[in-house]
């Protein structure tokens, strides 16, 4: 496994981040524990979750599964850089969502209980809150840092100007501010190249791409069509039909490079500026193996150019849409 610093911090994290969203709804607790053990064995020390994960199994269930894994001891918590998130509703009452000082306090304490730990390494805002001022948000975070409950703060799904707002407010308070941004980013979805990536690079934030395989479309979707044991959702099938020519070219290139499509998609992200670690969310252990292999894939300029031809990206704004 390779390691790097998370943005401008001194925190060392693996180039692959283990996403846990499937734990609970699709992956049993024992299987989830086995995947986390395998991640540690492979050198992955960076795990991502969220308080709302669990959905059909109940909001908070995923954090509980991670917590019972930590409770087994054996250095599991000490060797893990733990990231979780808040913002989404955790109940039906007022103040059980978003980023008010009250909700930050309550959500943080609830996550700590479920995770069976006394601190979170990276506490992330799952979405921008247009009703809470940054002074309110940062004051609440500073209190939590002083209490030793969190170490670093990150964002998720922010626009470039949201990052700028957050960092300006943090600078006024002489506070570190955001150290990472978690965005959807993959070969097929490259909108963040317009402004989010440039903002992250300017402010020293590490980018944590989610959905690196774009819902499986970049994981060999065409070649897997003949597998009758696989169930494909109608929405996924429709997305495949819209992008079939590109995906067929992509899978042909993967064959030329002797690299499985999923490995290629992750390797491409690892070659992009500002990217710290793509977030992979395996349902089974075998899906984690692909992510681990991708770290060792080196793409030359010819391969990178060909991928840009198949899936055109964006130039930095405003050059992308102005003279």
**pLDDT tens digits along 184-217:** 999 999 999 999 999 999 999 999 999 999 999 9
Q: What is the three-class DSSP state of 266?
A: helix
- Active-site position among 53, 123, 152, 185: 53
Q: What DSSP designation does 55 have? A: G
Residues 6+ apart with CB under 8 A from 16: 1, 44, 46, 266, 277, 278, 280, 291, 292, 294, 295
Other Cβ atoms within 10 Å of 228 Cβ, number: 6
> Has 321 been annotated as catalytic?
no
Query: CB of 170 within 8 A of CB of 176?
Result: yes
- Those residues with Cβ within 8 angstroms of residue 163's Cβ, 6 or more apart along the chain or in another chain: 155, 178, 181, 196, 199, 200, 203, 205
What would the pLDDT profile of 246-273 be if each residue is shown by its tens digit? 999 999 999 999 999 999 999 999 999 8
| Residue 229: per-residue pLDDT | 47
Which tokens hold the place of 198?
Answer: 């440039």
Distance CA 121, CA 148 (A): 10
Q: Which residue has the tokens 């409950």?
A: 149
Task: Work out the number of other CB atoms within 10 angstroms of the CB of residue 18.
Answer: 28
Architecture in CATH for domain 3-310: Alpha-Beta Barrel (3.20)
Which pLDDT score is estimated for 210?
97
User: What integer pLDDT is reported at residue 155 of this predicted model?
Assistant: 98
pLDDT digits (tens, 9 = 90+) for 124-169: 999 999 999 999 999 999 999 999 999 999 999 999 999 999 999 9
Burial class (CB in 10 A: 0-12, 13-18, 19+), 247: buried
Checking if the pLDDT of 55 tops 80, the result is yes
300 pLDDT band (50/70/90 cuts)? Answer: very high
């Amino acid at each position: 496994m390779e390691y790097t610093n998370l943005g401008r911090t001194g925190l060392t994290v693996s180039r692959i981040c283990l996403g846990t969203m499937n734990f609970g709804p699709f992956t049993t607790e024992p299987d989830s524990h086995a995947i986390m053990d395998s991640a540690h064995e492979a050198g992955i020390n960076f795990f991502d979750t969220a308080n709302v994960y669990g959905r059909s199994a109940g909001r908070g269930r995923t954090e509980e599964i991670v917590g019972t894994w930590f409770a087994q001891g054996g250095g599991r918590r000490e060797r893990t850089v733990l990231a979780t998130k808040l913002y989404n509703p955790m109940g039906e009452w007022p103040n059980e969502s978003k980023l008010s000082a009250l909700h930050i306090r309550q959500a943080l304490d609830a996550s700590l209980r479920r995770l069976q730990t006394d601190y979170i390494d990276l506490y992330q805002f799952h979405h921008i809150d247009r009703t809470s001022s940054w002074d309110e948000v940062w004051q609440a975070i500073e209190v939590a840092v002083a209490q030793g409950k969190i170490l670093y703060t990150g964002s998720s799904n922010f626009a470039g100007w949201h990052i700028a707002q957050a960092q300006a407010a943090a600078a006024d308070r002489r506070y570190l501010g955001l150290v990472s941004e978690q965005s959807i980013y993959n070969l097929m979805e490259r909108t963040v190249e317009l402004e989010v990536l440039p903002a992250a690079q300017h402010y020293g934030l590490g980018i944590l791409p989610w959905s690196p395989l774009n819902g499986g479309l970049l994981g060999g979707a065409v070649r897997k069509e003949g597998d009758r044991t696989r169930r494909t959702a109608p929405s996924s099938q429709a997305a495949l039909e819209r992008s079939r020519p590109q995906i067929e070219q992509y899978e042909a290139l993967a064959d030329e490079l002797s690299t499985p499509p999923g490995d290629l998609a992750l390797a491409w992200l690892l070659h992009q500026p500002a990217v710290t670690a793509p977030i992979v969310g395996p349902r089974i252990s075998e899906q984690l193996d692909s992510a681990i292999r991708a770290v060792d894939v080196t793409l030359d300029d010819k391969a990178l150019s060909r991928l840009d031809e198949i899936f055109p990206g964006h130039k930095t704004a405003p050059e992308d849409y102005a003279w």
